[in-house]
Structures are given as C-alpha cells and as structure tokens.
Amino acid sequence: MYRSDLLQDKTILITGGGTGLGKAMGRRFLELGAGLVICGRRKEVLEETAAEFEADFPGRTRHFQCDIRVPDAIEEMLEAVWTEQPVNGLVNNAAGNFIAKSETLSYRALDAVLGIVLHGSGYMTLGCGKRWIEDGAKASVLSIVTTYSWTGSAYVLPSVMGKSAVWAMTKSLAVEWGPKGIRLNSIAPGAFPTEGAWSRLLANPDVAEKFENYAPLGRFGDHAELTNLASYLMSDEAGFVTGECVTIDGGAWLRGAGQFTWVGEEMSDDDWAAMAAKR
Ligand code: HXC
C-alpha cells in the first residue's frame, strides 16, 4: 500500500510495544523503514519481541523495560534514548482495562487504569514534547484512544475517564504545539482482537461472537488495517493532519448512536410490510 521508505526518516517510540497492537504497529513501522524503540513493563516479553524484530530488521530496534506510571522511570528511559539517538515519533499505545460494575471498583482499581492510560500517556507526551521543543525538532504523537472517549461507556469507567482525557490532550496540544512543528493525532479502534484485551474484556466466546457481528461491516478489524492507518498518521504524508481522531471500527459506534437503528433491526418482514402498507 505504501512506498517501502515511507517512514525511513522516523524513529518511533511505542509504549506497550512488546505485545498486541503495539507490536503489530512496530513491525509495520519497521517494514516501512523506521527505527524503533519499544518499552513495556515485562522484560521477557520485550526481549522476545525485540529479538524477533532484530532477526527481520537488524540494528533497528531498541527496547527498554519501563513502567510508564513512574515519572522517574520515564525520565531515565528518555535520557538513555536521547543520548543514543532521539526519537521523532511517539505512540501512546500502552493501556490497562477491565470490565466491571463501577460500584464494585476500589480506589486502587481506578488508579491502576488511570496510572497507565492517563498519567502514562501524559508523562510520555510531556517528556518527549519538552525534548523536541528544546531540540527544535519536528515530531508527531499518535495516541490510541477509543470511541467511548466521546460517547462514554458503561462498565469500563476507569478506561473511559483515561481515554477521554487522552483525546482531550490530543486536541489541546495539537493547537499549543502546532507552531513548533509537533503534530498529535489519535486512532479510535473498534474490535481488533488481542490476547491482552480479549482476556480482560470478554467473559465468554458468545460475547466475542456478538462483538464480531456487532459492527455493521460484520467482522473484526484486521491488524494490518490499523497498522497502515497508524503508519500514514506517523508519516509526513499526513503533515497537515493534527488534532484529529480517526475511527476504525467497521461502523460499530454509529450503530449504537443512530436513534432508529435498533428499531429497524427489531422489525420482522411482516412489520416492514405493515409499515409499507401505510404509505
Ligand atoms: C475490578 C480490578 C480488576 C477487575 C484489578 N482490579 N483487576 N478490579 N475488576 N477485573 C483492581 C485490583 O483489585 C486492585 O485493587 C487494583 O485494581 C490494582 O490491581 P493490580 O492487579 O495490582 O494492578 P496492576 O498489576 O497494576 O494491573 C493493572 C491492570 C491490568 C489494569 C489491572 O489489567 C493490566 O496491567 N493490564 C494491562 C493490559 C491491558 O489491560 N490491556 C487491555 C487494554 S484494552 P485493590 O483495591 O483490590 O488493591 C483497552 C481498550 C479496549 O484499553 C477497547 C476494546 C474494544
């Protein structure tokens, strides 16, 4: 779909880059010529992914064990990254989420998710942004949000609060840092199955099947569809796009939003015939 050198002049840091969608984006960025820094909490997972990437794209992946909830850990990582070779792209991908009735949540449960999604994305963006501004470097940030960043959603309250804030950050800094040559965009993915998200969010296979059929396009997203969109937004081809969120969900959130969608879906052929007879 793209020129193989689309991201050749990019070095991109992906939080949570060892697994799931973060890993899929990393591989695609490498295919398109980028250098990569992946970070995450689990050392073994990072090492495994970095080794895979090194085998296919030698000398282009650095990895750092880093808990992005901890500002000192982020500073330590960014100092090391900048000393060796600065990045000019950041993907806020790391997230935490679980499905729960909100009245059962402890304060620590709220903090567990907000620590990663809200604080982690905020710290990373500020840490990189300050350095880019000091260096006079052009750069771009991509944050993975969700469609419930603007609709809200029952049963995933901590994630709703965190992702809404990250979307607000995207719009705010797009304006504030635009004059400095820094773009910020987001992607709101629908159902792209990954082990991490599915094991935490879907209680059984029936729910997974309903999830798949819920989108008007009648299927899950393919990781390549998301990674190509992310590549475009990180590339200079998207040089005039900032403060934007691209939804890639097969129409799922609009299905929930349309006032008469469910009414039409509940109607039988006889109901439709009866309505037509009234014309
Ligand atoms: C209620 C829960 C809980 C659950 C944990 N807690 N899981 N409460 N329901 N299912 C509570 C604990 O009881 C504890 O509170 C507090 O949260 C902290 O738990 P820890 O396990 O100590 O926290 P930690 O090890 O930091 O784990 C963070 C995590 C975990 C968020 C809880 O799930 C995680 O690390 N996830 C990372 C990967 C991930 O979630 N990926 C999915 C992202 S999907 P108490 O008070 O008992 O001590 C996504 C978008 C989805 O974001 C969109 C799909 C369409």
Digitized pLDDT (tens) for each residue of the chain, 279 residues in all:
899 999 999 999 999 999 999 999 999 999 999 999 999 999 999 999 999 999 999 999 999 999 999 999 999 999 999 999 999 999 999 999 999 999 999 999 999 999 999 999 999 999 999 999 999 999 999 999 999 999 999 999 999 999 999 999 999 999 999 999 999 999 999 999 888 888 878 878 888 888 889 999 999 999 999 999 999 999 999 999 999 999 999 999 999 999 999 999 999 999 999 999 999
- Predicted TM-score (pTM) of the model is 0.96
| Annotated domain spans of the chain | 11-277
Residue type, 250: G
What does the DSSP 8-state code read for residue 204? S
Element holding 37 (H helix, E strand) = strand 35-40
- Dihedral angle, C-alpha 218, 222, 228, 229, nearest 10 °: 40
Give the separation between CA 245 and CA 252, rounded to whole angstroms: 16
pLDDT at position 40 is 98
Give the separation between CA 46 and CA 63, rounded to whole angstroms: 7
156 Cα–ligand 1 center, Å: 11
Residue 148 designated active-site: yes
116 Cα–ligand 1 center, Å: 10
Place of tokens 């959603």: 153
Cβ atoms of 147 and 188 within 8 Å: the answer is yes
Please, which residues have CB within 8 angstroms of residue 27's CB and are 6 or more apart in sequence?
Answer: 53, 56, 227
119 Cα–ligand 1 center, Å: 15
Q: Which fold has domain 11-277?
A: Rossmann fold (3.40.50)
Determine the residue of 23, 39, 70, 98 to mutate for testing ligand 1's pocket, defined as the one with the most ligand atoms within 8 A of the Cβ atom: 98
Residue 166 burial class via C-beta count within 10 angstroms: exposed 0-12, middle 13-18, buried 19 and up: buried
- Atom 13, ligand 1: which residue's CA is nearest? 109
pLDDT at position 148 is 98
For 145-150, the CB contacts below 8 A with 24+ separation are 145/170, 145/186, 145/187, 145/188, 145/245, 146/188, 146/189, 147/188, 147/190, 147/247, 147/249, 147/252, 147/253, 148/253, 149/186, 149/188, 149/245
Catalytic residue among 2, 107, 148, 232: 148
pLDDT at position 206 is 86
At CA 178, angle to CA 175 and CA 182, rounded to 5?
125
> What are the backbone angles phi and psi of residue 251, rounded to the nearest 5°?
85, 10
Residues with CB under 6 A from ligand 1: 95-98, 100, 105-106, 108-109, 112-113, 146, 159, 191, 196-197, 200-201
